[in-house]
Amino acid sequence: MTKRRAEELLSATTTVVVENLLKGKSVQLQNLGSLEVKEKSARTIVHPRTGERTRVPAKQQLILRPTAGIKELLNGIN
């Protein structure tokens, strides 16, 4: 496989992954984990010194849920 072909495939992969994430699906990456969009609800934060209150609006976050085996794999066990 040429480097150029690999680049094409990689960019196609990211587009498909991102599209599905935006659709609200979680994308499973084998042996690594699954990517998903997580809803974070709005919250109020208070500046500890000034007492200033700021509302952090609800947002969506892209998170990775690592698979069960990845920790062992990356820590050189096995």
Where along the sequence are the contacts to another protein (CB under 8 A)?
A: 1, 5-6, 8-18, 20, 22, 24-37, 44-45, 49-57, 59-64, 66, 70-71, 73-76
Smallest distance from another protein to CB 10, Å: 7
Asked if 44 and 71 count as a contact pair (C-beta separation under 8 A), the reply is: no
CB of 73 to another protein, least distance (A): 6
**Which pair of structure tokens corresponds to residue 19?**
């599209």
Question: Measured from the CB of residue 65, what is the shortest distance to another protein in angstroms?
Answer: 9
